[in-house]
Homo-oligomer: A and B are copies of this chain.
């Protein structure tokens, strides 16, 4: 890239240089004090940040370094999907303990895989030493009319993409079964944990077809629907039996499984779920309705308690 600023000397720069070589054209504009990004005229900028910390979000033996890098960035990109944005690029700040130095190349490959899958560049980053591996990803995107959490309205239909529960089931098996190689004790659901897909194209399609609000599932379906209901100041009724479950997963598990990175969207008129499935090879399922009333969520008429979902600070 002719626009690149050649990097200076030092071991930190050598590591950055090695990552840039692995990324090739997937890195863009790295090397100055800040990355220069062109936001499409008329669009607003969307920005979000997400952190994956060793021991809090994953255990080293569960994922390959490549999967780890992929997953950190894909999870962060999911926040752009929830706003129906087009990605403009990512910045990655990594804290790398000595014991992980040999895995940086693998992690970089996973980051490269995640950005390539959505055709967006790595714009910049930061490398620090530290006592635990940590990957903080800032995602930048743009949209003419972003989908909000605040805009679900009484009368809307609630949809969810994909099939839920695989992540919780994979984590349950990994916690009991040790290492998580493909085909190993993570089971068939492991791929859902190791390789989440940010639903970016799906979200833009849904926004173009009249979706009124959206959120991605990071804390668990019911917890995130609660966030949506609170933000939009509406009541949401979920039909428990309608929640799409991965094979071998209970409805209960599907309703609470976190870090799924599927989307919950509301729409004021029915969306063509067959067309969605045909285009994206993914189910889109009607699971509930929005009404006026005290903000909150019910499943089959039962109110969902505030504690539903995963919370890193409630241990």
Residues of A within 8 A of B (CB): 5-15, 31-39, 41, 44-51, 53, 55-57, 79-80, 82-83, 85, 88-89, 91-93, 95-96, 123-132, 134, 136, 138-141, 146, 148-150, 214-216, 219, 223-224, 226-227, 230-231, 233, 295, 306-307, 309, 311-315
Contact = CB atoms under 8 A, between A and B. Distances in A.
Nearest to A52: B128
B307 A130 contact: no
Contact of A12 (B88, B123, B314): B314
B315 A83 contact: no
Contacts of A150: 5, 32
9 contacts: A8-B226, A9-B306, A9-B307, A10-B223, A10-B314, A15-B313, A36-B83, A38-B44, A49-B138
B51 A95 contact: yes
Given A11-B311, A47-B89, 14 more contacts: A5-B149, A5-B231, A6-B231, A11-B314, A32-B83, A39-B45, A41-B41, A49-B93, A49-B136, A50-B93, A51-B136, A53-B95, A126-B136, A129-B315
A151 to B, nearest CB: 10
Given A34-B82, A130-B134, A231-B32, A47 B124 contact: yes
A123 B150 CA distance: 17
Nearest to A125: B49
A131 B315 CA distance: 14
A128 B79 contact: no
A89 B139 CA distance: 14
A35 B46 contact: yes
A156 to B, nearest CB: 16
B8 A126 contact: no
A33 B127 contact: no
A-B complex: 6 closest residue pairs judged by Cβ atoms? A9-B306, A33-B82, A8-B227, A34-B48, A5-B231, A34-B46
A127 to B, nearest CB: 7
- Of A11, A45, A131, the most chain B CB neighbours within 10 A belong to A45
A10 B311 contact: yes
Contacts of A134: 95, 130, 134
B130 A56 contact: yes
Contacts of A215: 33
A79 B34 contact: yes
A167 B149 CA distance: 45
Given A53-B128, A129-B312, A149 B12 contact: no
Given A12-B312, A53-B95, A128-B312, A149 B35 contact: no
Given A53-B95, A231-B6, A127 B312 contact: yes
Nearest to A143: B36
B312 A32 contact: no
